[in-house]
Amino acid sequence: MARPVPGDTGAVRSEDTPFVGGPLDGRVLPVLLGPTGHPPKTYRVPVPDEAGGPPTVLVYRRVSAGSRGRLGVRVRWRYEFDEEGPRGGGGLKWPWSRPT
């Protein structure tokens, strides 16, 4: 029996996820799943600037694809293009915090 290697995560799972809107419209890309089995809430794609400036970041937000599995649990996700781009405040949102 082989000994486990420290830091080895085992098989990393991914899911083919469709992208809607923006430059990636209609593409289906493999997206790595997190420890909960869901893809990340936001997917950022850096696009290099031709003039050598800072890259433009395209932002896609995860939404439910509408299909449901057994017991009404959502089983599929898709990413929709967010034209507003990156937003600040990506930290934790506490229920007792007031909106700014």
Q: What is the pLDDT of residue 72?
A: 65
DSSP calls for 60-81: EEEEE-S-B-GGG-B--EEEEE
**Average pLDDT for the chain:** 81
pLDDT at residue 82 greater than cutoff 60: yes
Backbone angles phi, psi at 15, to 5 degrees: -135, 135
The model carries a pTM of 0.68
| pLDDT tens, position by position, 17-64 | 999 999 999 999 999 998 888 899 999 998 898 998 999 899 999 998
